[in-house]
Amino acid sequence: MLCSITECSARLAADELIAYPTETFWALGCNPCSEVAVQKLFMFKGRAQEKGIPLIISSSSLLADWEIVETEAVRQAREKLVISFWPGSLTMVLDPGARARTTFAPGVVSSDGSIAVRVSPNEYAREVAQAIGGAITSTSLNISGERPVSSVVEAERLFPEIAVLDVGHKVEDAEARESKRPSTIVDVRSLPFKVLRVGSVSVP
């Protein structure tokens, strides 16, 4: 069902799931601090918790509250990536401080204590993140192992039980859908940084 930003915000506050667009594929969103909501997400996806759940945040300034564990050299190098690629399709794997880790529901933080996060260039993605306190889950909208959703029409058709953010019914052609790539993932916990997944952003 199509819902406005206001309606989606209310559903997020009520520990429900929503579908929203990002600069890559559509995402399955919930409040990452709610254990009830996160468990609903895992049940919907049918996936294990060990991997953690990537997040989209509304602004890089949110990281200042996370007390990230890193050396000064790592911090300087990471901030250069933030300046160069955020907002953008670059996901960074970070080591948030203990207090920050405990604010997230079980399953959001990976089994190694890290968290994956990006600031999306998609204004809708940033808006729904802001609506729930600055961070929202951004795992792809699909059942684990299946193809991710790439348009609002697909989201409505395949998942009628989920609130779908109303962004209009502009249908992308098949070529555009096929050309979409996931975000690039970089582990920035130590130098040299490690590219874990090559995606739509090329990191030097």
Is residue 181 one of the residues assigned to a domain?
yes
CATH number of the domain enclosing 167: 3.90.870.10
Is residue 94 one of the residues assigned to a domain?
yes
Coil/strand/helix, residue 8: helix
Residue with tokens 């600031």: 119
Q: Provide the pLDDT for residue 47.
A: 79
Question: Distance between CA 91 and CA 136 in Å, rounded?
Answer: 14
Q: What's the CA angle centered on 182, arms 176 and 183, to 5 degrees?
A: 125
- pLDDT tens digits, residue range 155-172? 999 999 999 999 875 544
Coil/strand/helix, residue 66: helix
Q: Domain range spanning residue 156?
A: 2-197
- pLDDT tens digits, residue range 112-131? 999 999 999 999 999 999 99
Smallest CA-to-CA distance from 194 within 69, 183, 185, 77 is with: 185
Report residue 80 CA to chain centroid gap. 21
Residue with tokens 């590219």: 195
Is residue 20 one of the residues assigned to a domain?
yes
- Cβ distance 8 to 18 under 8 Å? yes
- If one counts the domains in the chain, the total is 1
pTM attached to this predicted model: 0.92
